[in-house]
Amino acid sequence: MKLEICANSYLSAINAQKAGADRIELCSELSVGGITPSYAILKKISEEITIPVNVLIRPRSGDFCYIDDEFSLMKENILLCKKLGFNGIVSGVLNTDNSIDIERTKELVELSKPLSFTFHRAFDCVDNPQESLQQLIDLKVDRILTSGQKLKAENGIYLLIELQQLAKDKLIILPGSGINAKNARIFKVAKFKEIHASASKIIDKESTIFFDKTPQTISDFENIKEILNVIKDA
């Protein structure tokens, strides 16, 4: 089983690599579900991180329906990630009814090649996950990041298992959200190939910025090691 760490900063990415994570999903602003990191962070991580890094391509927080200008920004960022030599792209587009936008997602998948493509947690908004799974198989997506349409992946385990059985070897179901050392074994027993976790801890409980009380978090070296000890234990 592989461990992908959702790293929200340069330091989080460094901790993931030092702790022995198999892969990183790189984003910024994890408190709003993640958005695409800045060029400076992308460049620095492309130069200093040696484990595979997949980059979140999401131009803003909120829903997953994008105007033309936002979609153009997404495509520009994919081209940048290809130029910088990243391993993969994490993205996706929905229609206003929360169905998968087939044409735009296909365009992103094709543009990303030969990088891997993960359809992100927009999947947890769709009304028919089984039908959406087949659509993404047809689009030749490499994996789907999902919590099983629950707040935490542990609570969505039954749908996750069903999706894995339906997907067979056509794509990877990547459980994510709330996975830690205490519940990681559930996913190992269910024979998932990979799991996704931020392994974060709060490093700034009392923000001094009066207009932003969001606590600062970081992917923690020890938390990552604890998850790895669970999933790599024979």
Please write the tens of the pLDDT for every residue from 114-172: 999 999 999 999 999 999 999 999 999 999 999 999 999 999 999 999 999 999 999 99
CB atoms under 10 Å from CB of 102, counted, come to: 14
Summarised one tens digit per residue, pLDDT across range 159-174 is 999 999 999 999 999 9
Task: Give the pLDDT band of residue 12 (cuts 50, 70, 90).
Answer: very high
| E strand segments, the chain | 2-7, 23-26, 53-56, 88-91, 116-119, 143-146, 172-175, 194-197, 200-204, 216-219
Question: According to the model, what pLDDT value does residue 215 have?
Answer: 79
Question: Among the residues of 91-156, which ranges form H helices?
Answer: 102-112, 129-138
The DSSP secondary structure of 37-79, one letter per residue, reads PPHHHHHHHHHH--S-EEEE--SSSS-S---HHHHHHHHHHHH
Question: According to the model, what pLDDT value does residue 207 have?
Answer: 59
Summarised one tens digit per residue, pLDDT across range 28-71 is 999 899 999 999 999 999 999 999 999 999 999 999 999 999 99
Tell me the pTM: 0.95
Give CA–CA dist 163/135, Å, rounded: 13
* Residue 100 contacts residue 132 (beta carbons within 8 Å): yes
Q: Which domains does the chain have, with CATH numbers?
A: 2-231 (3.20.20.380)
Phi-psi region of 178 (alpha: psi -120 to 50; beta: other; left: phi over 0): left
Instruction: State yes or no: pLDDT of 234 exceeds 60.
Output: no
